[in-house]
């Protein structure tokens, strides 16, 4: 309003009822919203379910296709990992569902090694590291 006068637009509906069409439409389709509901906990549950099944049980589920697609995908990855002895597949699914194993670096070990080195050895080591980081061969 400009100085107490209405400058345009629709009047509000009486009784506090707002128009039915409010705001922008939802940005995600319904199927993608359902996929968002698939949490890490649910994925862990699916993984545990199929990791503890016998080979025949998993094959029966895969052949009859009686489970949701996410479960079929997990089951197939587990079967291929077991049958082909492919640990890459199992590591892939474990890293996606559980998370990568955090590597801890003990800086005290490196610090103690550096203390036992002479200044020129530390400088040479630093030069080698810079060459490596810049894309050198060594």
In the chain, domain spans: 38-97, 104-138
* H runs (alpha helix) in the chain: 30-36, 40-51, 55-64, 69-84, 87-97, 107-115, 119-133
Q: Which residues lie below 8 Å from residue 116, measured CB to CB, with a gap of 6+?
A: none
Reduced to 3 states (helix: H, G, I; strand: E, B; else coil), residue 107 is helix
Token pair in block for residue 60:
């029966």
Which two tokens mark 101?
Answer: 């194993």
- Per residue in 32-86, pLDDT (tens digit) is 666 666 777 787 888 888 889 999 999 999 998 888 888 888 888 888 888 888 7
d(CA 42, CA 138): 46
Residue-level pLDDT at 54 = 92
Q: What is the pLDDT of residue 63?
A: 92
Q: In 3D, which of 65, 66, 71 has the Cα closest to residue 93?
A: 71
- Per-residue pLDDT at 31 exceeds 60: yes
- Give the tens place of pLDDT for each residue, 93-135: 777 766 777 777 777 777 777 788 888 888 888 888 888 888 8
Kindly report, residue by residue over 102-112, the tens digit of the pLDDT: 777 777 777 77
Predicted pLDDT of residue 20: 65
More confident residue, 65 or 92: 65
pLDDT at 86: 79
Is residue 21 scored above 70 in pLDDT? Answer: no
């Amino acid at each position: 309003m400009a100085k107490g006068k209405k400058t345009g637009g629709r009047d509000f509906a009486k009784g506090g009822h707002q128009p039915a069409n409010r705001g922008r439409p939802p940005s995600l389709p319904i199927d993608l919203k359902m996929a968002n509901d698939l949490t890490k906990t649910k994925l862990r549950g699916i993984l545990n379910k199929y990791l503890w099944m016998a080979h025949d049980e998993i094959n029966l589920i895969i052949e009859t296709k009686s489970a949701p697609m996410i479960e079929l995908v997990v089951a197939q990855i587990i079967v291929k990992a077991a049958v082909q002895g492919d640990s890459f597949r199992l590591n892939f699914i474990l890293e996606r569902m559980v998370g990568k194993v955090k590597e801890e670096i003990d800086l005290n070990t490196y610090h103690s090694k550096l203390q036992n080195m002479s200044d020129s050895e530390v400088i040479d080591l630093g030069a080698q590291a810079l060459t490596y980081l810049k894309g050198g061969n060594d």
